[in-house]
């Protein structure tokens, strides 16, 4: 079984693709790795591709929500892309809303949306970039 999910850095963004059946340890490691990478690279956005996932259960749903929450605190936007239609239908019936998590159909659309989310954020809050840098530095 896979030991860790690779996280790629692309400019201000981090990209990761969940290709394997998640289990507890893998999910915990991913949350930890991702948080560390956001801080290290001062990433502004995270794109999570789940097109290879054949199911999303409440466990994965909780993991995605958790990642989104932590990223928000670190001032990075998150977008989840590529959910299979059968997975989306099942999620709704299961009752999982994935509230507060932005989604897009595929990687290209997700990338554009993420760029826009980050741009909008900089226009709305010109100070936030600075405040963020200071708080990150203080934590080092």
Partner 1 sequence: MGKRETFPLKQETDIVLIRQRVRKYAEEAKLGIVSQTKIVTAASEIARNALIYGGGGECVVEACSRDGRSAVYLCISDSGAGIADIDRAMVDGYTSGSGLGLGLSGAKRLVDAFAIDSAPGQGTRVELWKWR
* Residues at the site binding partner 1, with contacts judged by CB under 8 A: 1, 21, 23-25, 54-59, 61-62, 84-87, 89-90, 93-96
Between 54 and 140, whose beta carbon lies closer to partner 1? 54
Between 15 and 56, whose beta carbon lies closer to partner 1? 56
Least distance from C-beta 108 to partner 1, angstroms?
A: 24
Distances (CA, A) of 38 to 14, 41, 50, 97, 139: 8, 6, 19, 25, 13
DSSP labels for 22-79? --HHHHHHHHHHHHHHHHHHT-SEEEEE-TT-S---HHHHHHHHHHHHHHHHTT-EEE
Least distance from C-beta 64 to partner 1, angstroms?
A: 12
Instruction: For residue 1, list its beta bridge partners.
Output: none
Least distance from C-beta 18 to partner 1, angstroms?
A: 13
Between 23 and 40, whose beta carbon lies closer to partner 1? 23
């Amino acid at each position: 079984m896979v030991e860790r999910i690779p996280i790629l850095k692309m400019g201000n963004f981090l990209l990761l693709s969940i290709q394997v059946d998640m289990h507890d340890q893998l999910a915990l490691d991913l949350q930890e790795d991702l948080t560390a990478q956001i801080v290290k690279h001062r990433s502004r956005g995270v794109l999570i591709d789940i097109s290879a996932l054949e199911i999303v259960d409440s466990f994965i749903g909780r993991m995605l929500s958790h990642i989104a929450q932590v990223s928000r605190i670190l001032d990075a936007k998150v977008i989840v892309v590529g959910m299979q239609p059968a997975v989306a239908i099942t999620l709704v019936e299961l009752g999982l809303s994935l509230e507060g998590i932005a989604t897009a159909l595929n990687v290209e659309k997700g990338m554009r949306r993420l760029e826009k989310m980050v741009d909008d954020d900089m226009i709305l809050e010109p100070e936030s970039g600075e405040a963020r840098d200071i708080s990150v530095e203080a934590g080092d």
